[in-house]
Amino acid sequence: MQRIEVAVGVIMDDTGRLLVGQRVVEDHYFNKWEFPGGKIEAGESVSSALDREFREEVGISVTVSKPLIELEHDYPDRHVRLHVHLISQFSGEVTPLEGQALAWVNFDELEKLDFLAGNQPIIEALKARYGT
């Protein structure tokens, strides 16, 4: 199976809450929570893919981001490599442009969400860095 390269962005607000979205595509992962992002197109860097995906899905332009973690996960129907960046600067207003739910959640709330299975290492990395 082909490995899909994915750019994923984590934004934390001033109070330590994280931006999460709920998937709207009606595939196996319908309604699962994720960090916004999407597939990296040919010739794109992670940063430019992030900026494009956040413009399309969340209505903001990503101006500064840095790598947090890179990981691979095998789902039954697809293998993904997630390039996860922490976004520290953006412009525009966060807006759910694809009809998806978007929410700002703290770590306690994050743990209760039905997240994509591949995301546990991301959550662990965030807790190691910011959690109590």
Q: Which residues bind ligand 8DG (CB under 6 A)?
A: 4, 6, 8, 25, 34-39, 53, 73, 78, 80, 82, 116, 118-119
Of 8, 38, 58, 69, which one interacts with Mg ion (CB under 5 A)?
38
Whether 36 has a binding-site annotation, put simply, is: yes
Report the residue number, 38 or 118, with the smaller CB distance to Mg ion: 38
Whether 43 has a binding-site annotation, put simply, is: no
From 19, 2, 3, 31, select the one nearest 85 (Cα to Cα). Answer: 19
Report the residue number, 11 or 38, with the smaller CB distance to ligand 8DG: 38
Contact 9, 65 (CB under 8 A): yes
What does 116 bind: Mg ion, ligand 8DG, none (CB cut-off 5 to 8 Å by kind)?
ligand 8DG
Per DSSP, the three-state class of 131 is coil
Contact 46, 83 (CB under 8 A): yes
Classify the phi-psi angles of 43: left when phi > 0, otherwise alpha if psi is within -120 to 50, otherwise beta: left
Q: Which residues bind Mg ion (CB under 5 A)?
A: 38
